[in-house]
């Protein structure tokens, strides 16, 4: 308790120098929490959106299908068994048939993927019910906002689509955009055109066939002839990207933290040198060298505690505001091709805050202890006389 009182008294007597160290250290704390909170918020938001719009709880793929290789789409289809048909009837599976195609809006060619889905499905948030009750269901499609901008088409406009059937024969037809949708998951928007699965099956001569099956079952059963892909696999690319962004943030935070810790280190080195008479007096009065070292170490640790308190004062209102209103990215998010909304809502967990506090307190304590070790070598008589080098 005596060491703590002396440490606090010494910090207060240092005045502006103490508060400069505290302020720089508090910036490190705020930046660490802010950046990682933003990344955590993006992670949670992207995962929720991707599950809601695209993958649900997992997908079954036709063997040989590769979502990154469009050439596998030609053979990525197979007939549905009775078991699969039963699960589809009970809404446990959602079949999706996919075919490569070329769109020709106003004579321009644009590569696309035709995706046929059940227009009455409710497993995914895709507004496929817009394809119901249209004048000509066989020529009706919906597209995402990004795809509509790429094709330069609006609702009610028609354009030509060419595709190949199961035998490799080309066919073409005019299709009308009956609606567009807006979502944050770029992979289900860019280059995708949606229509009724029965219409696509008839176009491609693929009765009762599908390319992938989406399920909302948390414990998906094995299906003969299908490769199950869980969300750990389906979300792995997004997780890897977010992890790389998090690593970049760690480096930036480390540099700022290093500057703050360097300031504390320099302060402690100067303090040990300047306060030699005080140190010698403590030792001469019977205080152990370890106790004197603890005073200087506690001073550095107290800097980090004060930094945390100061950071809480000016960052709490900011963090609450950002959690409610988000960090707006606007149209810039569209050009990234990532699953990212126009605004990211940071998520500041208690674990993140405690990790930041422990990191800064432990780092400041270690940095304060290192220069204080010199006290163990000080001769108290020479220190009082001011002759210690």
Question: Tens digit of pLDDT for each residue in 59-69?
Answer: 999 998 998 88
Q: What is the 3-state secondary structure (H, E, C) of the chain?
A: CHHHHHHHHHHHHHCHHHHHHHHHHHHHHHHHHHHHHHHHHHHHHHHHHHHHHHHCCEEEECCCCCCCCHHHHHHCCEECCHHHHHHHHCCCEEEEEEEEEEEEHHHCCEEEEEEEECCCCCCCCCCHHHHCCCCCHHHEEEEEHHHHHHHCCCCCCEEEEEEECCCCCEEEEEEEEEEEECCCCHHHCCCEEEEEHHHHHHHHCCCCEECEEEECCCCCCCCCCCEEECHHHHCHHHHHHHHHHHHHHHHHHHHHHHHHHHHHHHHHHHHHHHCHHHHHHHHHCCCCHHHHHHHHHHHHHHHHHHHHHHHHHHHHHHHHHHHHHCEECHHHHHHHCCCCCCEECCCCCHHHHHHHHHHHHHHHHHHHHHHHHHHHHCCHHHHHHCCCC
> Which tens digits make up the pLDDT trace of 72-114?
888 899 999 999 999 999 999 999 999 999 999 988 899 999 9
**pLDDT reading at 247 higher than 80:** no
pTM here is 0.77
193, β-bridge pairs: 114
Alpha carbons 255 and 262: distance in angstroms, whole number: 10
Same domain, 276 and 369: yes
* Residue 232 domain flag: no
The pLDDT of residue 275 is above 70? no
Domain check: are 143 and 275 in the same one?
Answer: no
Q: What is the mean pLDDT of the chain?
A: 83
Residue 13 or 370, more confident: 370
CB environment 75-114: b (16+ within 10 A), e (fewer) = ebbbebeeebeebbeeebbbbbbbbbbebebeeeebebbb
Count how many domains the chain has.
2
Clarify whether residues 267 and 140 are in a common domain: no
Domain boundary residue among 156, 182, 217?
Answer: 217
Residues 135, 140, 146, CA angle at the centre, nearest 5°?
Answer: 140
Question: Confidence class of residue 380 from pLDDT cuts 50, 70 and 90?
Answer: low
Look at residue 389 and tell me whether its pLDDT is greater than 60.
Answer: no
* 270-286 mean pLDDT: 69
209, part of any domain: yes
pLDDT more than 90, % of the chain: 36
The domain containing residue 285 runs over which residues?
2-52+237-385
| Domain final position from 217, 246, 271 | 217
In this structure, the answer to whether residues 203 and 65 fall within a common structural domain is yes
276 pLDDT above the threshold of 90: no
319 is a domain residue: yes
Average of per-residue pLDDT across 262-278:
69
pLDDT of residue 8: 64
User: Is 333's pLDDT higher than 60?
Assistant: no
Among residues 184, 217, 250, the one where a domain terminates is 217
Torsions phi, psi for 11 (to 5 deg): -65, -45
Q: Would you say residue 75 lies in a domain?
A: yes
> Do 196 and 289 fall into the same domain?
no
Q: Which residue has the higher pLDDT, 56 or 259?
A: 56
* Within-domain flag for 193: yes
Looking at the structure, tell me whether residues 130 and 46 fall in a common domain. Answer: no
Q: Are residues 183 and 241 in the same domain?
A: no
Asked if the model's pLDDT at residue 167 lies above 70, the reply is yes
* Nearest Cα residue to 178 out of 199, 194, 161: 194
**pLDDT of amino acid 52:** 92
- Asked whether residue 229 is assigned to any structural domain, the reply reads no
pLDDT computed for residue 96 by the predictor: 96
Asked whether residue 381 falls in the same domain as residue 241, the answer is yes
| One domain, residues 67 and 179 | yes
Question: Is 318 domain-assigned?
Answer: yes
Kindly state whether residues 308 and 373 are assigned to the same domain: yes
Predicted pLDDT at 32? 83
Task: Return the number of other C-beta atoms located less than 10 Å from residue 280's C-beta.
Answer: 22
Least confident of 49-63, 146-160, 187-201, 285-299: 285-299
Asked whether residue 222 is domain-assigned, the answer is no
378 lies in the same domain as 254: yes
Whether residues 241 and 295 fall in one domain: yes
């Amino acid at each position: 308790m005596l060491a703590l009182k002396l440490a606090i008294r010494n910090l207060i007597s240092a005045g502006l120098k103490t508060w400069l160290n505290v302020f720089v250290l508090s910036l490190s704390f705020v930046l660490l929490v802010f950046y990682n909170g933003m990344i955590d918020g993006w992670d949670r938001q992207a995962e929720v959106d991707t599950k809601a719009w695209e993958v649900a709880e997992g997908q079954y793929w036709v063997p040989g299908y590769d979502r990154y290789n469009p050439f596998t789409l030609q053979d990525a289809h197979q007939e549905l068994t009775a078991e699969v048909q039963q699960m589809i009837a009970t809404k446990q599976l959602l079949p999706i048939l996919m075919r490569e195609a070329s769109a020709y809006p106003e004579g321009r060619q644009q590569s696309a993927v035709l995706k046929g889905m059940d227009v009455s499905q409710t497993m995914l948030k895709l507004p496929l019910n817009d394809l119901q009750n249209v004048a000509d269901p066989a020529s009706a499609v919906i597209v995402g906002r990004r795809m509509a901008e790429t094709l330069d088409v609006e609702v009610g406009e028609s354009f030509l689509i060419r595709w190949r059937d199961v035998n490799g024969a080309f066919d073409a037809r005019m299709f009308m955009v009956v609606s567009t949708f807006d979502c944050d998951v770029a992979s289900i928007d860019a280059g995708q055109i949606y229509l009724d699965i029965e219409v696509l099956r008839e176009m491609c001569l693929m009765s009762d066939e599908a390319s992938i099956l989406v399920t909302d079952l948390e414990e998906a059963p094995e299906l003969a002839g299908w490769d199950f892909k869980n969300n750990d696999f389906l979300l792995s690319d997004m997780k890897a990207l977010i992890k790389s962004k998090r690593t970049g943030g760690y480096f930036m935070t480390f540099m700022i933290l290093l500057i703050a810790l360097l300031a504390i280190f320099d302060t402690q080195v100067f303090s040990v040198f300047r306060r030699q008479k005080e140190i010698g007096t403590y030792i001469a009065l019977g205080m152990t060298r370890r106790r004197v070292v603890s005073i200087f170490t506690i001073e550095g640790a107290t800097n980090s505690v004060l930094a945390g308190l100061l950071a809480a004062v000016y960052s709490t209102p900011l963090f609450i505001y950002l959690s409610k209103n988000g960090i707006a990215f606007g149209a810039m998010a569209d050009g990234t091709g990532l699953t990212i909304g126009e605004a990211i809502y940071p998520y500041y967990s208690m674990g993140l805050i405690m990790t930041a506090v422990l990191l800064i307190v432990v780092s400041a304590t270690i940095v304060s202890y290192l220069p204080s070790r010199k006290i163990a070598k000080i001769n108290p008589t020479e220190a009082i006389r001011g002759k210690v080098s």
